[in-house]
Structure 1
Amino acid sequence: MLSRLMMAVATTVLVIATSCIFPGIALDKSAKTQVPGVYPFKLGDFTITALSDGTLPQDLHTVLSNTNPAQTDRLLQKSFLTNPVEASINAFLIDTGDRQVLVDTGAGSFFGPKLGGKLQASLKTAGYTPSEIDAILLTHIHSDHSGGLVDAGQLVFPTATIYVSKPEVDFWFDRANAKRSNVDEKYFDEAAKTVKPYLNAGKLKSFSGETTILPGITTHPTPGHTPGHSSYVATSKGESIEFWGDIVHFASVQLPKPEITVAYDVDRDAAAAQRKKQFARVEASRLLVAGAHLPFPGVGHLRMADEGYAWVPVDYRWRES
Structure 2
Amino acid sequence: MVQVPNAQIPGVYHRKIGDIVVTALSDGYLDGTVEVMQNIAPPDAEKILSDAYRPGRRTSVNCYLVYSAGRLALIETGSGDYLLPTAGKLQQNLKAAGVNPADIEAVILTHMHPDHSAGLANPKTGEKFFPNAELIVHQNEPRHWNDDGAMSRADDRAKRLYFAAAREQMAPYHNQMRTFDGAVEVFPGVTSVPLHGHTPGHSGYMIASGGKSLLIWGDIVHVPEVQVPRPEVTMAFDTDPNAAAATRRRIFDQVLADRQLIAGMHVHFPGFAHLVKQGDRYFMLNEPWDQAFGG
TM over 0.5: yes
Q: Is the 8 A contact 2:31 2:59 kept in 1?
A: yes
Q: Is the 8 A contact 1:181 1:266 kept in 2?
A: no
| TM alignment of 1:46-61, pairs within 5 A | 46-60=20-34
**Aligned: 1:105 with 2:77:** yes
Aligned equivalents of 1:316, 1:275: Cα separation in 2: 26
The higher-RCO structure (CA 8 Å, 6+ apart) is 2
Cα distance, 1:73 vs. partner? 2.3
| TM alignment of 1:1-321, pairs within 5 A | 27=2, 29-60=3-34, 62-82=35-55, 84-112=56-84, 114-151=85-122, 152=124, 153-179=126-152, 184-186=158-160, 187-199=162-174, 202-305=175-278, 308-319=281-292
AA aligned to 1:204 is M
Q: Which has the higher helix share?
A: 1
Cα distance, 1:193 vs. partner? 0.9
Identical pairs, percent: 39
Cα distance, 1:78 vs. partner? 3.2
Q: RMSD value over aligned CA atoms?
A: 1.7
Secondary structure (helix, strand or coil) at the match of 1:304 reads strand
Secondary structure (helix, strand or coil) at the match of 1:93 reads strand
Normalised to the residue count of structure 2, the TM-score between the two structures is 0.93
**Quick check: which has more Rg, 1 or 2?**
1
Structure 1 segments of 4+ aligned residues over 6 angstroms from their partners: none
Aligned equivalents of 1:189, 1:146: Cα separation in 2: 12
Figure out how many residues of one structure are paired with residues of the other and give that number. Answer: 290
Normalised to the residue count of structure 1, the TM-score between the two structures is 0.86
Secondary structure (helix, strand or coil) at the match of 1:54 reads strand
AA aligned to 2:286 is P
Structure 1: 5+ residue stretches without partners? 1-25
Aligned equivalents of 1:193, 1:59: Cα separation in 2: 27
Q: Is the 8 A contact 2:69 2:188 kept in 1?
A: no
Cα distance, 1:215 vs. partner? 2.4
Cα distance, 1:180 vs. partner? 5.2
Structure 2: 5+ residue stretches without partners? none
Q: Deviations over 1:92-114 (max 9, x none)?
A: 011014110111010011115x2
Assess, with a 3 A threshold, how the Cα gap between structure 1 residues 261 and 191 changes in structure 2: closer, same or farther.
same
Q: Is the 8 A contact 2:58 2:223 kept in 1?
A: no
